[in-house]
Structure 1
Amino acid sequence: MNEVVVTLISARTIEQGIGLEIGKTSEQYQNSVSVIELNPSDFESLEISEGETVEVESDYGSVLVKCRSSQDVPKGRAFMPYGPWANKLFSSSTRCSGMPQLKGIKVRVKAAKGLKMPSIVELIDELRRL
């Protein structure tokens, strides 16, 4: 199975902010934050189609999200908006700073054909059990 190892960067987006105003359980919010963007070269190496589900795994956890190609993302990097899907990939440790490391972590991305991305309600229930 094809996989890529990339450095994940997360940040706020306009779409995420609009979704937050509508409500975290809204479809608009979910669609805005349950995605990973890869450079077209990295995306093509996965041999998937735009919007297909992928598994993203870090040393701290894994999550299923939709994947899309973006010219705005440099090769070897990935982008995810802040949100519950990205939170599954980060350590809860703040190393005395009060803020977890939300940028620059290594992740493995691979196709997840046949697997279903969790809804926000399912994801929150899963996070509560940790």
Structure 2
Amino acid sequence: MPARVLVAKPGLDGHDRGAKIVARALRDAGFEVVFTGIRQRVEDIVAIAVQEDVAVVGLSILSGAHVALTGRTVEALRAADAADIAVIVGGTIPAADVPKLTEAGAAAVFPTGTALDAIVAEVRALTAAPA
């Protein structure tokens, strides 16, 4: 059974082209992908992630609110007793913010320009069955 990944666009950012490209790359790599569409509330993203039994939540954020939205998502997953769901984040992310995102609980960070193969490889690593 393929691993399930939720690709979500939190906040008010209306640009979804990159998220759709990543979702398609993950689908083409064999993952089952759920795409939320744009302008999602963190609470709704978490509810969908739990309902759909995903292994990874991928946040696509171009608005500049990546640190706050990532932290809120990680905390909401913990509150929903779903801390085992990995959170990854991609988008317009300055290099200086990468450590802030990992400190906030992101399992991986993909700034604009990250190769799709690198994203797929990281999601594979995050969803690999324990040895």
Task: Report which of the two has the higher share of helix.
Answer: 2
**Which protein has greater RCO, CA pairs closer than 8 Å, 6+ apart?**
1
Task: Report which of the two has the higher share of strand.
Answer: 1
TM-score over 0.5 for the pair? no
| Max Rg structure | 1
